[in-house]
């Protein structure tokens, strides 16, 4: 039976292989999810040092708990999200919080349900970005989060404007496929 390269495996297959002690599978999982986990931890904890610890704890938990993943119950991304959320919550609890008085006015910040929804969207999108080629990812990150126009990106990367446009469109097409996979 041919062995499928870890790079070509689904998240669920990688978790299953990690449960059997496959380090290559674990490494691919790490490369796909390290940034989404770090992003989630930063959002929840608001502190880089503790978020970095949470990344390490999350992947230690994934390695340790991989056997509890049941492929028949669903794809790997939601399971990984749950493991990350638990590890980050544990890291958050580790900080001694000073007692605070209840606020008198309702907060205008998003409620728990909205926060969960936006965290899940970010998790899904950041995971999909890891599926792009480095060239495609660079133009997407510069276009969306650096405030550069297409011609400024061309100038910054010292490549033709047409190449920037081609890469951007190709990246969006690829992301649409990757996000569909994530959505199941």
**Token pair for 94:** 């580790």
From the CB of 105, what's the least distance to other proteins, in Å?
25
135 exposure class (CB count in 10 Å sphere: 0-12, 13-18, 19+): middle
Among 27, 161, 163, 181, binds other proteins (CB under 8 A): 27
The sign one gets for the Cα dihedral 166, 171, 177, 179 is: negative
Site string for other proteins, 88-127 (x = CB under 8 A): ------------------------------x--xx-xxx-
Distance CA(162)–CA(142), nearest Å, equals 16
Among 75, 163, 165, 181, binds other proteins (CB under 8 A): 165
From the CB of 171, what's the least distance to other proteins, in Å?
9
Distance CA(54)–CA(37), nearest Å, equals 8
Identify the residue whose tokens are 């998003």.
110
Among 6, 12, 36, 77, binds other proteins (CB under 8 A): 36
Q: Is 133 in the site for other proteins (CB under 8 A)?
A: no
Angle, helix 23-45 to helix 112-129, in steps of 10 degrees: 140
Q: Is 156 in the site for other proteins (CB under 8 A)?
A: yes
Identify the residue whose tokens are 């292989």.
17
Half-sphere exposure of 121 (CA within 13 A, CB side): 6
From the CB of 129, what's the least distance to other proteins, in Å?
6
Site residues (vs other proteins, CB under 8 A): 18, 23, 26-27, 30-31, 34-36, 38-39, 42, 46-49, 52-53, 55-57, 59-60, 63-64, 118, 121-122, 124-126, 129, 134, 137-138, 140-150, 152, 155-158, 165, 168-169, 172-173, 175-176, 179
């Amino acid at each position: 039976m041919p062995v499928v390269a870890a790079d070509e495996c689904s998240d669920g297959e990688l978790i299953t292989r990690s449960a059997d002690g496959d380090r290559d599978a674990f490494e691919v999982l790490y490369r796909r999810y390290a940034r989404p986990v770090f992003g989630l931890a930063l959002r929840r904890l608001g502190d880089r040092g503790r978020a970095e610890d949470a990344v390490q704890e999350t992947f230690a938990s994934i390695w340790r708990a991989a056997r509890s993943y049941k492929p028949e119950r669903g794809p790997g991304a939601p399971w990984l999200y749950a493991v990350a959320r638990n590890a980050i919550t544990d890291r958050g609890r580790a900080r001694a919080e000073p007692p605070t008085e209840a606020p008198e006015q309702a907060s205008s910040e998003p409620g728990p349900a909205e926060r969960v929804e936006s965290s899940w969207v970010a998790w899904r999108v950041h995971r999909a970005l890891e599926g792009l080629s480095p060239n495609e990812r660079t133009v997407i990150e510069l276009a969306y989060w650096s405030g550069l126009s297409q011609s400024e990106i061309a100038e910054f990367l010292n490549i033709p404007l047409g190449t920037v446009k081609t890469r951007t469109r190709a990246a969006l097409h690829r992301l649409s496929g990757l996000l569909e996979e994530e959505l199941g």
